Every structure is written in C-alpha cells, then in structure tokens.
A and B are shown apart, each in its own frame.
Chain A
Amino acid sequence: MGRWLDFESNPWGQEVLQGVSLDLMYLAIGLAVLFTLGHWFWYRRRGFSKQEEVAEAQGSVAGIPERIVRHTLASRIFHWSMAASMLVLLVTAFVPLLGLEFAWVTIHWIAGAVLILTIVYHVIHSIGWQDFWSMMSMGAKDVREGISHFRHVLSPKAPTPEKPGKYPFDHRMYHNGIVVVSLAAIVTGVLMTLRIETPFWEPNTYYPFVDQAVSGYSELGEPVISLTPGATTGLMFVIHGIAGVSLILMVTAHIYFAIRPDKRWFTWSMIRGWIDREHYLAHFDPDKWSVSDGSVQEQAPGGAIADSVVSAPRVDD
C-alpha cells in the first residue's frame, strides 16, 4: 500500500494520508503504453477470417440513406469541447509531475469548470433529446452480446457475433467507465477547488474535511489550532488521484482506438457527423439501430438508439 499511497508525518509523528504516490502515475503510464503496443502487435498477428476482411454489407439498401447521421453537430461540439478540457486537465495534472514545470493549478481548475459545463450540457441534451438508455443500458442481453463480440475479437474462429445497435457494447462500457471516473474526479475536484485561491471565494484549506481535534490552547486560553485536516482530506486526494490516473489509461486507449485504421470510420463520424451506408450495413443491426430515409422508427425496448434528431434526415454535403 505504502508504495501507491503517500503518507507524511505530522509533528506528533503520526502518519497522515496525503494522496496517491508518483509511482501510481508511472504505473498508469506504463500500463497505457503496454496496452497500446500490446494491442497493436497482437492485432497484427491475430489473422482475419475471409468474412472479416471484406466486411460485407448485408441486407437491403432500400430506404437507407447513403449517409447516416451518427453524431449531430451538437453532440460533436460537446465531444470535442469535453475532450479538449479533459486533455488540458490531464496535461496540467501530470506533465508538471513528470518534470516539465509550469503554473498548472489555475489552468487545471478552469479546465475542470469547462469540463463540468460541457457535461451538464451533455446530460441535459442526452436525457432530453437522445435515447438516454441506449447508451447506459447494461442488461443481460447486452452483456451476452458484448461477450460474444469479445470472443470473436480474441479469435477469428469464434462464431460471428450478433450485430449491435447504434452503440456496441464496448462503446457503452467505455462510456459508463468514463462517467464513473470523471464524476469521481469532478466531485473531489470541486471540493479541492474550494480550498484554493479562485476569484469566487475565500480559500479555506480546512475545507471540507476537518477530522482531527487538537486541543492546544494559547496562554490567553484561545485555541491555537483547534482542528486540522487529516485522513479524510487525504482520502479526497486519493480519490481524485485514482480517478486521474485511471483517466490516463482510459483516454489513451480511447485515442488509440480512434486513430487505428480499422476504426477510422468511427472517428470520421465524430468529425463530419455521419457514417456511410456500407459501414452501417456491415457493422450494425438495422433492427436495433434503425434509420430510414426520411422517417424515424421507434425502437422496441432494449433496441438501439435512434437519436431522434440524428437518425432521420439525410445529410447533404
């Protein structure tokens, strides 16, 4: 434990939890590099079945537009502003710890505030205008679909899995992971920002967790230091730190997949908004993610996501 957490002693010689150690950051960076390189080599050696090589478009093209909207302009703007603030948060948090020093704290909390704004916008947008549950759902059926997909990824000989709806299982898992980890970073980050200098409030380093009463009194009988931050404050730093290093891993993996040649068509959809009919028919189940030329079909429960604004109209150049 001592290796991953940082303790410092107070004047009474008690060890007080302060946060995560630098080793944890190096571990995360190491794992991120290992994962990317490992995946890259393994995927090259894996071998592909005939079917996979020509991901065939199956089904009828009737009524399906040539370009299918995957991410509306609103979701793309959200994604990129959120990505930018997340990258700034990661850089300001970890680059100074790696030795390139600069005044990072102010940039860090401002990027944190931007991240919070983008997420508030995203949550309202996705609950109000998108099919919220299609991204969040993790039912038994979804898990089965995910497992068979995973088996197939591991070995080309495993049976070809059922096609997914708009968001394949791995995308949903990633999203859920990011939700949990970012929320942890945000909640602790806001509490930590209350303790430092900002234009908005008087900083209070005893905030929010004061958990050790020290009964020291001055000659005048006034308490000299009546309360001190202790292990609970440390816990807040630990949660922030663990969330931070987890994001090193998650964001690296995410960017790695986004720039892989076989996933670039996804990446383009986050830039121009649409995917083409061939990729749609090859990778998705039109019953689960239905799009049609001009009309929107409501989904059966557990089905895919027709982003009501998204899926309908055909996008022209």
Chain B
Amino acid sequence: MAIIRDMIPAFELFQPTTVEDALVLLAEHGQGAWVLAGGLDSYDWFKDRIKRPEAVIDLGGIDELTGISDAQDGLEIGAMTTLTEIVRHERVRSEYTLLADAAEHVATPQIRNQGTLGGNISQDTRCWYYRSGWPCYRAGGNTCYAAAPQAMNREHAIMGTSRCVAVSPSDTAHALVALDAKMIVRGRRSSNVYDAEDFFIGPATDITRMTVLESGDLLTQINIPGEWANAHFYYEKVRDRGSWDFQLVSVAAAFKTSGNTIDDARIVVNGVAPFPVRLDAVERLVRGTSVDEAVAIEAGEIAIQGSHALKYNEYKQPMMSNLVRRAVRSVA
C-alpha cells in the first residue's frame, strides 16, 4: 500500500552539537520538529510522505550522547550509542549479556552500525495501516483499521490494547525493562528519570505515542543499574525469517538464582502488546521456587491469561506461552 516516491519532501535540517542547542531547537519548532537518531525509522516515514516534519534535528553531531561509561554502580549508555558498540562492549558482553543479546538481534550488521539504542526503543510501531497513512487513532483519527473484522492483523497485539492494537517493535526495549534500566529524559526546563517500565506507554493512556517522550523532550541516556549484573539471562526472539526481521514475539528475562531456585526474576515479553509487557504474575509464581518442568509449564500458562487474539494472530498465544516456559525452564 505504501507508495514509495523518489524524493523526500523538503525540510529544514539542524545539526546541533550540544544537547542544550538541540533542546532549544526542539522548543523553537514545537510540533513541527522531528528528532533524528540513526534515521532508520525516520527516513521510512519521510520517503513514504506519511510524516512531513518542518524541521529535522539530527542528533548525530552531539558527542555527549554517545558512548558507554562505567558508573559507580552499573553502566551509563548515551542514547546515540550504536547497537554495534553495545554488542561489542566488553562489560555489556560479560555482565549484561541480555542487552548484548537483544541488541544483536536487531536487523542486520549494517543497520546496527547506524541504528542507536535510543532510536531502537523510541521507534514507532510497524502497523502497516498506520504506516500506510490511514487516518487511524494513532494518526489522530477515530478508527483502528487493524482491529476491524477483515483486517490483516497477524503481527498485531494480543494484550494491552485499547482501541489501537499495534505492537511495540523494539528488540531491546524489553531487555532494558528486564534489567530495570533508567531512562534520562531532558526537556527545556526539567530533566526526568523514568524506570524503563514506565517509559513505554500504552494506547489507553495516549493513543498517539508509544513512550513518555513528548514534543520538546529528548531521551539522552540509559542507565543500567548494577543490581542485575551477571544474573542468569534468557533472550529469545521468534521472527518469520532468521536473517533479518522484526519479532513476532520475543522474551527477555533476568533471574537471580541459587542452584535451580529462583530468588528474584524480571520477565518481559515484547511483540504482543503496544508496549513491552512485564509478567508480574509469572514473576510472583517463580520467585522462591525451585524450577522444574511443572513450574515452567504453569509459568507459560499464566503468562497469557487475559490475552485476546484478533482474527489472524491466535498463534501468538501459544508462542508467547512457550517462550515464557523456555525462559523459566532455562534456570533448571
């Protein structure tokens, strides 16, 4: 449906070199501004002419937004750090394998060289009705075309929906929630720290956004606390083709264990809702238990309680259930 045109419509390009300047530009251009990170989501929108910003603020020249540094407790990752850097970073690879694993599952090596962590978690949904320019809820309209009786919704949500049934496409978002990462968001006047879990918002709260970021805000840094370093991790992504694709369903889990007993757990699934879904009920079930097949099966069953399939995505229920079961079983 999307019509690829030969040229991107004109916009004014700004290339600030400090966060402060970027914030001033964002404030100046308000709703007309577009934040450009790696450009992998942005240029799709521009080429299809579905989003036509007046001013594009390219963060590529802001050095303070890139790089990974050791913090007193954990790591501080600049929002513009590329996924490749994350995948290759020594401490990420040794202490936070979950994140390295997740980042490595993003698209292709070329895309990971260009794509950033901040961009990966702030990218917009892949719902093709929305991306093809249908005036749906997310685009400011009054209808969800993907939930309609005859809609093609194989990739859409089975939980967490509210009128809109699009899913969060990010491969790293749920890993960051599992690691209890903190997102530093700066605005003109204030700076806020969000738990990764609260950074992503669903359509019940705001149907036009996927994160707390509003016009004028900039995600500058992602802090990974030491709390979950060297935990037992599990990451698995199911996609239609192994080489390069968005997830259908994926799971990111962190377990603190003694032997095969789980002392604490954070289990998060993505691709099933408009935001990464933390499975509180499953975590409660497994905390303090020594894992065997029965626990793993029960975890998988509880995970999908309350889920609701659309016409073509019923398969996501057993898929999610199985992924959660495998995550829990990995501890045994």
Q: Do A and B come from one complex?
A: yes
Instruction: List residues of A whose CB falls within 8 A of some B CB.
Output: 6, 8-11, 16, 18-19, 96, 101-106, 195-197, 203-206, 223-226, 228-229, 233-234, 237
Q: Let me know if B140 and A6 touch, CB within 8 A.
A: yes
Query: Which residue from A96, A103, A104, A229 sits with its C-beta under 8 Å from B143?
Result: A229
Chain B residues, CB < 8 A from A195:
143, 163
Chain B residues, CB < 8 A from A223:
150
Closest to B144 in A: A205
Q: Let me know if B148 and A204 touch, CB within 8 A.
A: yes
Q: Identify whether the interface residues of A are mostly helix, strand, loop, or mixed.
A: loop
Q: Let me know if A101 and B163 touch, CB within 8 A.
A: no
Query: Which residue from B142, B162, B205 sits with its C-beta under 8 Å from A233?
Result: B142
Q: Let me know if B205 and A103 touch, CB within 8 A.
A: yes
Q: Let me know if B148 and A196 touch, CB within 8 A.
A: no
Q: Let me know if A228 and B145 touch, CB within 8 A.
A: yes
Chain B residues, CB < 8 A from A19:
142
Chain B residues, CB < 8 A from A206:
143, 148-149
In Å, the complex CA distance between A229 and B149 comes to 12
Q: Let me know if B150 and A203 touch, CB within 8 A.
A: no
Find the residue from B142, B152, B161, B206 having the highest chain A CB count within 10 A.
B142
For chain B, the bracket of interface size reads 20 to 34
Q: Let me know if A18 and B162 touch, CB within 8 A.
A: no
In Å, the complex CA distance between A19 and B142 comes to 8
The yes or no answer to B60 lying at the interface (CB within 8 A) is no
Q: Let me know if A205 and B134 touch, CB within 8 A.
A: no
Q: Let me know if A105 and B142 touch, CB within 8 A.
A: no
The 7 closest A-B pairs by CB, nearest first: A8-B135, A103-B204, A11-B133, A229-B143, A8-B141, A18-B141, A205-B144
Query: Which residue from A8, A103, A105 sits with its C-beta under 8 Å from B139?
Result: A8
A192 to chain B, nearest CB (A): 9
Query: Which residue from B135, B149, B161, B201 sits with its C-beta under 8 Å from A197?
Result: B161
Q: Let me know if A11 and B204 touch, CB within 8 A.
A: no
Chain A residues, CB < 8 A from B142:
18-19, 229, 233-234, 237
Q: Identify whether the interface residues of B are mostly helix, strand, loop, or mixed.
A: loop
Chain A residues, CB < 8 A from B149:
204, 206
Task: Please encode chain B, from 72 to 101, with 1 for each CB lying within 8 Å of some chain A CB and 0 for all others.
Answer: 000000000000000000000000000000
Q: In the complex, how many residue pairs between chain A and chain B have their CB atoms under 8 Å apart? A: 75
Q: Let me know if A9 and B145 touch, CB within 8 A.
A: no
The yes or no answer to B313 lying at the interface (CB within 8 A) is no
Query: Which residue from A8, A197, A225, A226 sits with its C-beta under 8 Å from B163?
Result: A197
Given contacts A102-B205, A234-B142, contact A10 B135 (CB under 8 A): yes
Query: Which residue from A10, A196, A225, A234 sits with its C-beta under 8 Å from B150?
Result: A225
Q: Let me know if A205 and B147 touch, CB within 8 A.
A: yes
Q: Let me know if B204 and A106 touch, CB within 8 A.
A: yes
The yes or no answer to B132 lying at the interface (CB within 8 A) is yes
Given contacts A105-B163, A229-B143, A237-B142, contact A9 B133 (CB under 8 A): yes
Q: Let me know if B143 and A205 touch, CB within 8 A.
A: yes
B256 to chain A, nearest CB (A): 32
Given contacts A205-B147, A225-B150, contact A105 B162 (CB under 8 A): yes
Task: Please encode chain B, from 127 to 167, with 1 for each CB lying within 8 Å of some chain A CB and 0 for all others.
Answer: 00000111100011111110111111000000001110000
In Å, the complex CA distance between A102 and B201 comes to 10
Query: Which residue from A16, A101, A205, A234 sits with its C-beta under 8 Å from B205?
Result: A101
Query: Which residue from A16, A102, A105, A204 sits with its C-beta under 8 Å from B141?
Result: A16
Closest to A6 in B: B140
B277 to chain A, nearest CB (A): 15
Chain B residues, CB < 8 A from A105:
162-163, 204
Closest to B137 in A: A205
In Å, the complex CA distance between A195 and B204 comes to 15
Chain B residues, CB < 8 A from A226:
150
Query: Which residue from A9, A106, A197, A205 sits with its C-beta under 8 Å from B148?
Result: A205
Task: Please encode chain B, from 161 to 188, with 1 for each CB lying within 8 Å of some chain A CB and 0 for all others.
Answer: 1110000000000000000000000000
Chain A residues, CB < 8 A from B161:
197
Q: Let me know if A18 and B134 touch, CB within 8 A.
A: no
